[in-house]
Structure 1
Amino acid sequence: MKVLIFDGDCSFCNFFVRFTVRINKNPELRITDFNTDWTKENHKPDDDIDSVIYIAEDKTYIYSDAVLHMLADANRLFKPVVLLKLIPKFIRDTIYKVIAKYRKKIPVKNVCERPSKKFIDMYLS
């Protein structure tokens, strides 16, 4: 099982997760947020890390690596995004951290849309 853990209180994060659900073709990929029982029982996040977390094949990815690996695993059309790992990690993670710092201020449309059946099926509570 592959799991993307996200900040359920963040509208930008929810927008990203809805995008992930739409593109996902991987039946192993699941999503959950930091406040679910699944997360509390299966993962102890580091309070100093302000990042989505992606767990795949016993590896835990954070920051830009989490996004790149999750997208590549979600849909084979996104496999080329892994080539972005050619960019030094400190540059990728700096960009990620700037976005993460201001993510709650980024206006996103359709924040309160009803979850799709696919979203519900992928969600670990």
Structure 2
Amino acid sequence: MNIILFDGECHFCDASVQFIIKRDRNKYFKFASIQSDIGKKLLKEFQVPETVDSLVFIEGKQCYVKSTAALKVARRLDGPWSLFYPFLFIPSFLRDAIYDIVAKNRYKLGKQNECKIPTKEELERFIN
């Protein structure tokens, strides 16, 4: 199970999902909104508060949040994005401080009630 949970009401988060889909040729990732039933179930299963202000990445039986999740995802993307993976060696409190600034300001890009309509192929990658 390689699932990315994202905030389904956030333009920045939706853009991030679209970014990942375009760079995940091997279709390693599946996606679910944190607000969905499966998203809430997975948050509970992995003991992540529903108020989480982060991308959540579930890889196998491990759950990652904030900068660790982002870097673990980057490692699997096509192109140069895997070059960011070594940043995991920076202490998480420093990485997460930067992540928190971005997360705190993401709604300034706008909240959304609608998302891009995914293609049939993209739709197969979303879990309901």
Q: TM-score range by the shorter chain?
A: 0.7 to 0.9
- Structure 1 residues 112 and 28 mapped into 2: Cα distance closer, same or farther (>3 Å)? closer
Partner of 1:55: 58
Query: Is 1:102–2:105 an aligned residue pair?
Result: yes
**Structure 2 stretches lacking a partner, 5+ long:** none
Alpha-carbon separation, structure 2, partners of 1:22 and 1:10: 19
- The alignment yields a C-alpha RMSD, in angstroms, of 2.1
Q: How many residues align?
A: 123
**Structure 1 stretches lacking a partner, 5+ long:** none
CA offset at residue 117 of structure 1? 3.0
After TM superposition, the structure 1 = structure 2 runs for residues 1-125 of structure 1, keeping only pairs within 5 Å, are 1-44=1-44, 45-75=48-78, 77-106=80-109, 112-125=115-128
> In percent, how many aligned pairs have the same letter?
28
2:31–2:127 CA contact under 8 A, matched in 1:
yes
Q: What's the TM-score once normalised by structure 2's chain length?
A: 0.83
Deviations 1:16-66 (A, max 9, x none): 111011101233410111122222333323145311100002110000001
- Divergent runs of 4+, >6 A: none
1:18–1:119 CA contact under 8 A, matched in 2:
no
